Amino acid sequence: MIEAADLSAIIPVGGRHGDLAALYREYRSALAGFGANVEFIFVLDGPRPKAVEQIEQLLRAGEKLTVIELTRQFGEATALMAGFQRASAHVVVTLPAYYQVEASEIGKLVRALDSTDMAIGHRWPRAGGRFERARRDLFHGVLGKVTGQRYRDLGCSVRAFDRRVLAEISLYGDQHRFLPVLANRQGFRVVEIDVRQSPRDRFEGTYAPKEYVRRALDIFSVFFLVRFTKRPLRFFGMIGATLFGIGALLTTWLVIDRLILHHSLADRPALLLSSLLVVMGLQLFALGLLGELIIFTHAREMKDYKVDRIIEYPKSDAALPPAPVREERAGAARPLAF
């Protein structure tokens, strides 16, 4: 069982946040079962006067909190990384600055770390209309197809994970949503656990069209990071070979058309198109080959596997039955330096 001193709770505060004082008290009460020494870290993503006023009320009341205020708005991923670097515990929990799940359900994720590296929440039963459900299903369906990993609620910000996960992953942009995907790629064990959605979890408003474009681009970037980080030639080479093949076939047909059917090549857009496809195909293939050379030169520095455990046996007395003398499990909490 995880001890109370081994838990840090990070709460990034962005444009959307609720009553932080009341929310903090609910979180503190929910995590009290793991001890009294839980570390709470508020990260303010840029100037947030209302949030500062609410946190100051807690500080005046004698609550022991750590507050990090960024100079400007950098995004939730950057705010989380700032909190990660400040956290000192072996187990880290990320919590939203607004009501999302019932606070009493957070303990499920923390307890799940006894047998896994990362536990994420899945709000169930889930509120929302048909359009909202269709949008969520489409997002997770496309992401599952391109990454091979199936999740149901990556929008849930309630997550618990071993500190070792932070040593292997650096977040930027809007990749905080895809932290479970990136952790799974690094070989960590990730589970999704049903948690009750808070009745106060209501998003009032609509997403702008640019948000959907951003999510599509995010999925594409994660697709490349998960599938082709160490095999760029497979990605660029596949596209380049396809374009080169189409261009070569088109060029061959034009040459045959000119030599046998005696049709002129002058003023034929097809000739320009075929030449363009051949050149683009060669360039993409060369780009993938260059990426492979870069990966090859840094291959020794890149480790994409995780050791689950190491068992050593005595080697001196062969007559004795083999008995393990030391065991190290990957899930064991141990201090790491940033």
For residue 328, what pLDDT is reported?
Answer: 45
pTM of the model: 0.76
For residue 183, what pLDDT is reported?
Answer: 93
For 316-328, write each residue's pLDDT tens digit: 555 445 555 444 4
Beta bridge partners of 67: 42
Share of the chain above pLDDT 70, in %: 83
- Residue 336: pLDDT band (50, 70, 90) is very low
Cα(296)–Cα(300) distance, integer angstroms: 8
Q: Is residue 2 over pLDDT 60? A: no
The answer on 217 and 294 residing in a single domain is no
Share of the chain above pLDDT 90, in %: 50
- Residue 299: pLDDT band (50, 70, 90) is low
Nearest to 74 by CA among 43, 97, 49, 102: 43
Q: Is 316 within the bounds of a domain? A: no
Q: Is 306 within the bounds of a domain? A: no
The answer on 217 and 273 residing in a single domain is no
At a CB cut-off of 8 Å and minimum separation 6, what does 228 contact? Answer: 234, 235
Supply φ then ψ for residue 68, to 5 degrees.
-115, 120
**Which residue, of 227, 248, 270, is where some domain finishes?**
227
For residue 321, what pLDDT is reported?
Answer: 54
CA 182 vs CA 9, 190, 227, 321, 326: distances in Å: 21, 10, 11, 42, 31
Cα(184)–Cα(186) distance, integer angstroms: 5
CA 73 vs CA 149, 173, 177, 187, 205: distances in Å: 31, 12, 17, 32, 21
Q: Is 328 within the bounds of a domain? A: no
The answer on 264 and 223 residing in a single domain is no
Strand order across the 159-162 sheet: 66-69, 39-44, 7-13, 91-94, 159-162, 118-123, 190-195
For 197-221, write each residue's pLDDT tens digit: 999 887 655 677 888 788 888 888 8
Q: Is residue 330 over pLDDT 70? A: no
Average pLDDT value for residue range 66-79: 91
For 19-58, write each residue's pLDDT tens digit: 999 999 999 999 988 766 889 999 999 899 999 999 999 9
- Residue 302: pLDDT band (50, 70, 90) is low
Q: Is 95 within the bounds of a domain? A: yes
Cα(211)–Cα(218) distance, integer angstroms: 10
Is the peptide bond between 12 and the residue preceding it cis, with omega within 30 degrees of 0? no
Q: Is residue 106 over pLDDT 90? A: yes
3-state class (DSSP) for residue 1 = coil
Q: Is 314 within the bounds of a domain? A: no
The answer on 219 and 75 residing in a single domain is yes
| CATH code at position 21 | 3.90.550.10
Cα(32)–Cα(26) distance, integer angstroms: 10
The answer on 169 and 89 residing in a single domain is yes
Q: Is 40 within the bounds of a domain? A: yes
For 159-200, write each residue's pLDDT tens digit: 999 988 988 888 877 889 999 999 998 899 999 999 999 998
| E strand segments, the chain | 7-13, 39-44, 66-69, 91-94, 118-123, 159-162, 190-195, 309-312, 326-329
The answer on 214 and 110 residing in a single domain is yes
The answer on 210 and 77 residing in a single domain is yes
**Which residue, of 170, 201, 227, is where some domain finishes?**
227
Q: Is 317 within the bounds of a domain? A: no
Question: Domain range holding 263?
Answer: 232-301
At a CB cut-off of 8 Å and minimum separation 6, what does 15 contact? Answer: 45, 73
Average pLDDT value for residue range 79-84: 92
Whether residue 65 contacts residue 42, with contact meaning beta carbons closer than 8 Å, is answered with yes
The answer on 285 and 173 residing in a single domain is no
The answer on 43 and 192 residing in a single domain is yes
At a CB cut-off of 8 Å and minimum separation 6, what does 295 contact? Answer: 230, 231, 232, 302
54-61: Cβ within 8 A, 24+ apart? 54/19, 54/20, 54/21, 55/20, 55/21, 57/21, 58/20, 58/21, 58/24
Cα(43)–Cα(67) distance, integer angstroms: 6
The answer on 152 and 121 residing in a single domain is yes
**Which residue, of 189, 211, 227, is where some domain finishes?**
227
Number of structural domains found in the chain: 2
Q: Is residue 331 over pLDDT 60? A: no
At a CB cut-off of 8 Å and minimum separation 6, what does 42 contact? Answer: 11, 13, 20, 51, 55, 65, 66, 67, 68, 97
Provide the token pair at 321.
């039955």
Q: Is 333 within the bounds of a domain? A: no
For residue 301, what pLDDT is reported?
Answer: 63
The answer on 239 and 179 residing in a single domain is no
**126 exposed, middle or buried (CB, 10 Å; 0-12, 13-18, 19+)?**
middle
The answer on 164 and 251 residing in a single domain is no
